[in-house]
Structure formats: structure tokens, C-alpha cells
Amino acid sequence: MTIETRSNTGGYEPRFIVERVDGQPIPSDRRYMVLAFDGSDPEAVRALRAYAKFKEEKNPRLALDILGHLANPKDAPKQHRY
């Protein structure tokens, strides 16, 4: 049985605003996608594991950080102002 959540219903929509922590501007032509890796969206977790595997050769530190944060999301950097 599939639980109806925002991750498995509807389409791509603007739901988040991305800002840099250091306050620097982001070029207006950049685009980002936000994926929840707390387990609420299992497909996002699978996608991030695949991305980590893809990055292993060019950026092993990023790959290890992603895998570590997937293993323990509470250890990930804070991402909310509130």
C-alpha cells in the first residue's frame, strides 16, 4: 500500500526557496531540486545513494558525506532557519 504524500502525488512545483548560507547571490539561471533524505521519501534516498556512487571518483568526500547523512540524517548540517 502506498501512503499518499507530496513525494508521490502531484508534479514538479515551486515549493522551496534556496539561499546561500554566506548570503552571496545565486546566479538567476541556476536551478535546484530539494530531496528529503529523512526516510519520508524512499525514492529520494535511493536517488541520493545513486548520486553518491556517481560522485565517488570525482569527489569522494562528497560521496562519503552523502552516505553518512543518509545513515544518520540528524548528523546532517542544519538546513532550516527555524
Q: Give the pLDDT of residue 1.
A: 59
Query: How many angstroms separate the CA atoms of 72 and 41, rounded?
Result: 15
Domain ranges within the chain, ordered by starting residue: 6-75
Q: Give the pLDDT of residue 6.
A: 75
Q: Give the pLDDT of residue 58.
A: 98
Q: Give the pLDDT of residue 2.
A: 60
Predicted TM-score (pTM) of this structure? 0.79
- Tens of pLDDT along the chain (82 residues) come to 566 777 778 888 888 889 998 999 999 999 998 898 888 888 999 999 999 999 999 999 999 999 999 999 888 888 887 7
Among 33, 38, 44, smallest CA distance to 7 is for: 44
